Amino acid sequence: MTAILENKENGVLTLTLNRVDKKNALTSEMYATLATALSKATDANDVRVVLLQGHETVFSAGNDIADFLQQPPASPESAVSRFLRGIASFPKPLIASVCGPAVGVGTTMLFHCDLVYAGDNAAFSMPFVNLGLCPEAGSSLLAVQLMGYQRAAEALLMGEPFMVETALELGLISRVLPPTEVNAYSQLQAEKMARKPLSSLLETKRLMKSVRIPAVLSQMDEEATVFARMLKEPAAVEAFSAFMEKRKPVFN
Ligand code: COA
């Protein structure tokens, strides 16, 4: 089965995470598909807005842990790096539709989206410390900017999940709907946006983001270096082995 579905309609490219049996955990192949789709969408005349969505029960369980163990991202050219840089600097509007768990990169990718519509079952978490890792996708910068230091510390140092009420209050998401309605609503909003003048969309987004992007990309580079190193260290190896063996990790 195709793990990323791509559909172009009325100026909207919809990318659907379609690996529900594995809770839409993202493999390097999926990151590569998403990165390429975003890159092509940048220049495609028939794409004005991109919508990224999951299933009404789950957005994404984050990085696929088994895939990470087999082929850890080691360079700036890795598929995950290409995807993260792609969403951070994507020039056209990017909308996310999120229901159920959004773990790790499932949450951090949302910091780069322009609108995020969520089901009332959405649960956000950035449990990198619980996995012996550090934040990625610029989240060590963007979470602090969005939430303030103390709340970001609760999310990133404790790895505590937070629900839609908090996400709405923080401004991480734009609106909460019943899970069965979120993807359809997001599609409508994306199509509504796609009918607006493209040059205005591009310039408005560029002006809103231009000051922040260089800092975000630089933070992402530093995070990626640390993340790649930590992936090989004992804490991450234990956390990932424990996940695969369905047991609790033991950190010494
Ligand atoms: N990587 C690889 N496989 C994953 C995965 C991940 N990140 N998350 C879930 N899966 C797999 C499970 O191993 C399981 O596979 P199996 O049916 O072959 O045993 C399947 O997806 C269903 O997951 P399960 O944990 O049974 O579903 P759940 O509804 O009880 O819980 C989550 C859903 C998302 C809360 C839970 O799966 C989870 O916490 N996943 C890990 C998230 C994580 O730590 N991500 C960060 C990675 S950096």
| Domains of the chain with bracketed CATH | 1-177+198-252 (3.90.226.10)
Three-state DSSP class for residue 151: helix
How would DSSP label each residue in 14-54?
EEEE--GGGTTPBPHHHHHHHHHHHHHHHH-TT-SEEEEE-
**CA 83 to CA 137: how far, in whole Å?**
9
The DSSP H or E segment spanning 87 is: helix 79-88
Mean pLDDT of 110-114: 98
- pLDDT value for 158: 96
> Is there an atom of ligand 1 within 6 Å of 131 CB?
yes
Nearest partner of 107 among 144, 72, 137, 141, judged by Cα: 137
Task: Please give the pLDDT value at position 72.
Answer: 86
Q: Are 102 and 63 in contact (CB under 8 A)?
A: no
Span 54-107, pLDDT tens digits: 999 999 999 999 998 888 887 878 999 999 999 999 999 999 999 999 999 999
Q: Ligand 1 pocket check: which of 17, 23, 29, 70 to mutate, most ligand atoms within 8 Å of Cβ?
A: 23
Q: Which residue has the tokens 């559909």?
A: 7
Cβ–ligand 1 distance for 69 under 6 Å, the answer no
Q: Does residue 104's CB lie within 6 angstroms of at least one atom of ligand 1?
A: yes
Rounded to whole angstroms, how far apart are CA atoms 97 and 116?
Answer: 6
Q: Which tokens sit at 161? A: 């999940």
Query: How far out from the chain centre does Cα 17 lie?
Result: 11
With the C-alpha atoms ordered 224, 80, 48, 94, is the resulting torsion angle positive or negative? negative
62 lines ligand 1 (CB under 6 A): yes
pLDDT tens for 195-235 read: 999 999 999 999 999 999 999 999 999 999 999 999 999 99
Query: Residue 175 and residue 231: Cα distance in Å, rounded?
Result: 35
3 state SS of 2: coil
Is 65's C-beta closer than 6 angstroms to any atom of ligand 1? yes
d(CA 13, CA 109): 17
Tell me, yes or no, if the pTM score tops 0.85.
Answer: yes
Nearest residue (by CA) to ligand 1, atom 36, is: 61
Instruction: Give the separation between CA 105 and CA 99, rounded to whole angstroms.
Output: 14
Q: Is the CB of 54 under 6 A from ligand 1?
A: no
- pLDDT above 90: residue 7: yes
Nearest to 143 by CA among 124, 164, 130, 115: 124
